[in-house]
Structure 1
Amino acid sequence: MLRRTIDASRGMSHGPSAMNSHPQAAGLPARDPTRSFQDMILTLHDFWAAQGCVILQPYDMRMGAGTFHTATTLRALGPEPWNAAFVQPCRRPTDGRYGENPNRLQHYYQYQVILKPSPGDIQELYLDSLKAIGIDPLAHDIRFVEDDWESPTLGAWGLGWEVWCDGMEVTQFTYFQQMGGFDCKPVAGELTYGLERLAMYIQGVDNVYDLAFNDRGVSYGEVFLENEKQMSKWNFEVAETDALFDLFTKAEAECRNALANDVPIAAYEQAIEASHIFNLLQARGVISVQERASYMGRVRDLARGSCEKYAELMAPRWAAQYPEWSLN
């Protein structure tokens, strides 16, 4: 893929951020995002809340990326403005390494921001958010490297960039063009921060398990290392494949049942479930190359069907509020 880089330190204004400071509640210590994983997350919450974002909680389902959250996928549809930020735990079974790899995990965290319509200063806002967590864009080599995004299982794609900090990718920046096969009108801007990778960079550690989770001596490894060991074993060795195939079929059937009864959010949840089961089947090594394409197509059909039904149900409200807007 042809990649074009943008040097963020050139031709851009870096005046005082809208988030120069965050008043703390009386008696609470000031946050230092450079000292702990959780303070970095809380600082991002503060920053994006100050930009008018709704600060949401993680979606309570297993999913491979924050984009699967309904606050991103379904809210990207239609004309209504929507600004939200949240942490999303992500599971990618095939990436597990039994806790033996210093920077590769089957369970990790993304920080997701969706801004709709995408503001003209979204790049400036992003750079200010880096400054808020301790990365001064003027003191580091921040580059936007063209890397258009696509999610075959969501029937979605967008124009995008990887954001590199001193040669390491830390964020994916995307302008959504389609979601569930529908054009995004208006275009939404999405930022996906790799939280562990950012924290490792900020704290100056080479092993994710050495990250300071808080400033009281608790490490990332104390919180998650045993989980990585056990879940890697489950993903690669233990999960019963016949049961997984059955669960995939049931999720597919329940999605179609929900669609037939006009509850597309419930249908979409079953599409998320089917996607995770498919990922587990891949980790177990029981999906051939030919079957992989077929299963991805089945998940895509569920997600697109859910988006289509959601748009169909919401269209009257959207048309009443935005008479010049059309679905296609």
Structure 2
Amino acid sequence: MDAQPIGAQAPLEKRPGAHKQAEQTSQQLGETSPQAAFAPAQQAACATGSAPAIAQGTLAPTFQELIMNLQRYWAAQGCVILQPYDNEVGAGTNAPATTLRSLGKGTWRTAYVQGCRRPADGRYGENPNRTQHYFQFQVLIKPSPDNIQDLYLGSLRAIGIDPDKHDVRFVEDDWESPTLGAWGLGWEVWIDGMEVTQFTYFQQVGGFECSPVPVEIAYGLERLCMYIQSVDSMFDIVWARGDDGVTFTYGDVYLENERQYSRYNFEVADTDFLFREFEAREKECKDILAHNLPLPAYDCVLKCSHAFNLLDARGVISATERTNYILRVRSIAKACCESYMKHVAPLYEKNEAAASTQVNATTKGERHE
């Protein structure tokens, strides 16, 4: 695994042999949990004796300030700041603002916080680094700008991390999502030995080539905030701090959620209902696609995925059945992408072309005045 220190721009082109068949190591549909390797990485970062993320004497930003700083920064780069997608997803990448909008030729820039659910990752709130629910901050820009690495480093400065004072490295880690028929050339971003961000140039989504190539930046908000605030448990993260000194921690907001949802995911969820839900959502997805409506159909894909993840957490799916369910989700996901390319992407491209024509006409008129 090669580590690129800052200064060398991450290449845009597809490299020979870059597309490798990823093994399905996670117990759920979606990418490997970004929390899984956090604890040893955090210990390694501490062992380096590197400078603290925030200068001494400076109050570290709260969790919500971290989010707002990232939103302001990427808004200034022309991104649409979306609100979280209102459906269960295993990763911010799976939200339609990334998965579907990566397809087609139209320009797209967005940034948003996304709550993510990985039922099997729950630990009843007893593990300081691993939970069944967490947050990502997602950025997608299409086409990918030539200076995207500099823009990313600028986002670190916006949240109080000076790249010149820390060991920031881009470590090769290509990405693949078998359930979405998607893959890309990627890098993990390490700061002082700890992974905080995933950086990916999408090459294919839903079996379709991405042209132009979009770039995705996915920040792990909890681990990033733990690093900035120098705390060892995500539940100790300061979420909010009032002018009167009253603070709320991540644990105040979400610890009881973790306890209850872990119990639901592992012990209580009705498996008969979940099997029926998977079948019903799969059928509904196909019925919706028959009406050329890929956007609501894609909601059903994610409902199927979440139902499967809950069944997996309950331990009622065999290895053979697991493979079959993954293939079924992949099939309807690719069908949604195909319908999107046919019925939705051309609309965005047409609207963009019309807007460009109007701008050119206005500019031409101003020159003649």
The residue that corresponds to 1:182 in the other structure is 208
**Deviation, structure 1 residue 287:** 1.1
**Deviation, structure 1 residue 227:** 0.1
Say whether residues 1:116 and 2:142 are aligned partners.
yes
Kindly indicate whether the alpha-carbon contact (under 8 Å) linking 2:104 and 2:346 is maintained by their aligned counterparts in 1: no
Q: Once the two structures are superposed, what CA deviation does each residue of 1:202-240 show, in whole Å capped at 9, x if it has no partner?
A: 000001110000113100000000000000000011001
Residues 316 and 40 of structure 1, relative CA distance in 2, 3 Å threshold: closer
CA RMSD of aligned residues (A): 1.5
Kindly indicate whether the alpha-carbon contact (under 8 Å) linking 1:146 and 1:161 is maintained by their aligned counterparts in 2: yes
Distance (Å, rounded) in 2 between the aligned partners of 1:270 and 1:318: 23
Distance (Å, rounded) in 1 between the aligned partners of 2:265 and 2:322: 17
- The aligned runs of 1:155-174 (5 Å cut-off) are 155-174=181-200
**Deviation, structure 1 residue 69:** 1.1
**Deviation, structure 1 residue 137:** 0.6
Letter in 2 for 1:7: P
Say whether residues 1:67 and 2:93 are aligned partners.
yes
**Deviation, structure 1 residue 315:** 5.7
Distance (Å, rounded) in 1 between the aligned partners of 2:141 and 2:298: 22
Count of aligned pairs: 300
The residue that corresponds to 1:140 in the other structure is 166
Say whether residues 1:34 and 2:34 are aligned partners.
no
Give the counterpart of 1:280 among 310, 319, 340: 310
Distance (Å, rounded) in 2 between the aligned partners of 1:253 and 1:160: 34
Kindly indicate whether the alpha-carbon contact (under 8 Å) linking 1:153 and 1:299 is maintained by their aligned counterparts in 2: yes
Residues 293 and 132 of structure 1, relative CA distance in 2, 3 Å threshold: same
**Deviation, structure 1 residue 289:** 1.2
- The aligned runs of 1:71-110 (5 Å cut-off) are 71-110=97-136
Q: Once the two structures are superposed, what CA deviation does each residue of 1:98-144 show, in whole Å capped at 9, x if it has no partner?
A: 00000101000000000000000111110110111011111111111
Give the counterpart of 2:267 among 233, 237, 257: 237
Distance (Å, rounded) in 1 between the aligned partners of 2:345 and 2:267: 46
Kindly indicate whether the alpha-carbon contact (under 8 Å) linking 1:33 and 1:43 is maintained by their aligned counterparts in 2: no
Letter in 1 for 2:289: L
TM-score, scaled to structure 2: 0.79
Kindly indicate whether the alpha-carbon contact (under 8 Å) linking 1:102 and 1:207 is maintained by their aligned counterparts in 2: yes
Say whether residues 1:247 and 2:277 are aligned partners.
yes
The residue that corresponds to 1:191 in the other structure is 217
**Deviation, structure 1 residue 35:** 2.7
The residue that corresponds to 1:151 in the other structure is 177
Deviation larger for 33-42 or 179-188: 33-42
1:42 is paired with a residue whose SS is: helix
Gaps of 5+ in 2: 10-57, 354-369
Kindly indicate whether the alpha-carbon contact (under 8 Å) linking 2:106 and 2:345 is maintained by their aligned counterparts in 1: no
Say whether residues 1:200 and 2:233 are aligned partners.
no
Q: Once the two structures are superposed, what CA deviation does each residue of 1:14-37 show, in whole Å capped at 9, x if it has no partner?
A: xxxxxxxxxxxxxxxxxx982300
1:52 is paired with a residue whose SS is: coil
Distance (Å, rounded) in 1 between the aligned partners of 2:191 and 2:303: 34
The residue that corresponds to 1:4 in the other structure is 2
The residue that corresponds to 1:18 in the other structure is none
Say whether residues 1:290 and 2:316 are aligned partners.
no
1:57 is paired with a residue whose SS is: coil
**Deviation, structure 1 residue 151:** 0.8
Distance (Å, rounded) in 1 between the aligned partners of 2:349 and 2:154: 36
TM-score, scaled to structure 1: 0.89
Letter in 2 for 1:125: L
**Deviation, structure 1 residue 318:** 6.5
Letter in 1 for 2:5: D
Kindly indicate whether the alpha-carbon contact (under 8 Å) linking 2:105 and 2:345 is maintained by their aligned counterparts in 1: no
